[in-house]
């Protein structure tokens, strides 16, 4: 549910701010931008958690996945705001 909310918020913010409600001709770029922002943020979160030894991938993968999702939500919001500084 948190993952869905995160992607939904990313989509709404990108639609309103970055693309200024004009995605008809650029739907593929819109979707790509949301996916890339979320995946890059999740990768950075994974690396930070791994460096802090808080990502037990082999011992408890479900907990690792949940930690990444919980921390990625606010981090992806910040990422998309920074991404919006470079408007289309």
What pTM did the predictor assign?
0.86
Closest by Cα among 43, 13, 42 to 30? 13
pLDDT for 69-86, tens place per residue?
Answer: 999 999 999 988 888 887
Q: Which residues contact 72 (CB under 8 A, 6 or more apart)?
A: 6, 38, 41, 42, 45
pLDDT on residue 67: 95
pLDDT on residue 87: 58
Residue in this structure with the two tokens 């995946």, named with its chain if needed: 39
pLDDT for 52-67, tens place per residue?
Answer: 999 999 999 999 999 9
pLDDT on residue 43: 97
């Amino acid at each position: 549910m948190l993952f869905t909310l995160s992607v939904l918020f990313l989509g709404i913010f990108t639609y309103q701010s970055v693309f200024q409600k004009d995605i008809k001709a650029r739907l593929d770029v819109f979707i790509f931008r949301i996916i890339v922002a979320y995946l890059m943020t999740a990768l950075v979160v994974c690396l930070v958690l791994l460096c802090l030894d808080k990502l037990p991938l082999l011992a408890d993968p479900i907990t690792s996945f949940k930690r990444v999702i919980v921390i990625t939500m606010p981090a992806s919001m910040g990422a998309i705001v920074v991404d919006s500084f470079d408007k289309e």
